[in-house]
Amino acid sequence: RKEVEQDPGPFNVPEGATVAFNCTYSNSASQSFFWYRQDCRKEPKLLMSVYSSGNEDGRFTAQLNRASQYISLLIRDSKLSDSATYLCVSALGQNFVFGPGTRLSVLP
């Protein structure tokens, strides 16, 4: 299994800020990419899949650059409830490889 690396964090931002997370993956054969959110001592939950064309879901925008093996997540107008650890995931078939996560704290 190859590795996924992420910004080490933590990121502490004020409410309303825009924050960007970066991720790189080493397995060029990876087919699918995801961002998961994990709250403290809880299970990871899917935030969004990442497509080559880039995709947006409300305040969240994900981008994929296959040539650079780079994935990003942008959160606009951050809310207190966005505080969590964000996990970058690459997958080959059903083999999911998780990054170490980047912790985000949104401050009032």
Partner 1 sequence: EPEVTQTPSHQVTQMGQEVILRCVPISNHLYFYWYRQILGQKVEFLVSFYNNEISEKSEIFDDQFSVERPDGSNFTLKIRSTKLEDSAMYFCAKVTAREAFFGQGTRLTVV
- Candidates 14-22, 35-43, 62-70, 72-80 — which segment interacts with partner 1 by CB under 8 A? 35-43
Separation of alpha carbons 60 and 91, rounded Å: 21
Coil, helix or strand at residue 82? helix
- Which residue is it, tokens 């899917």? 46
- If one asks whether residue 27 binds partner 1 (CB under 8 A), the answer comes out as no
97 within 8 A of 90, measured Cβ to Cβ: yes
Q: Which of 28, 29, 41, 58 binds partner 1 (CB under 8 A)?
A: 41
Enter the tokens of residue 4.
């996924």
- The binding track of 81-100 with respect to partner 1, each residue x by CB under 8 A or -, is ------x-x-x-xxxxxxxx
- Which residues sit at the interface with partner 1, rule CB under 8 A? 1, 32, 34, 41-46, 49, 87, 89, 91, 93-101
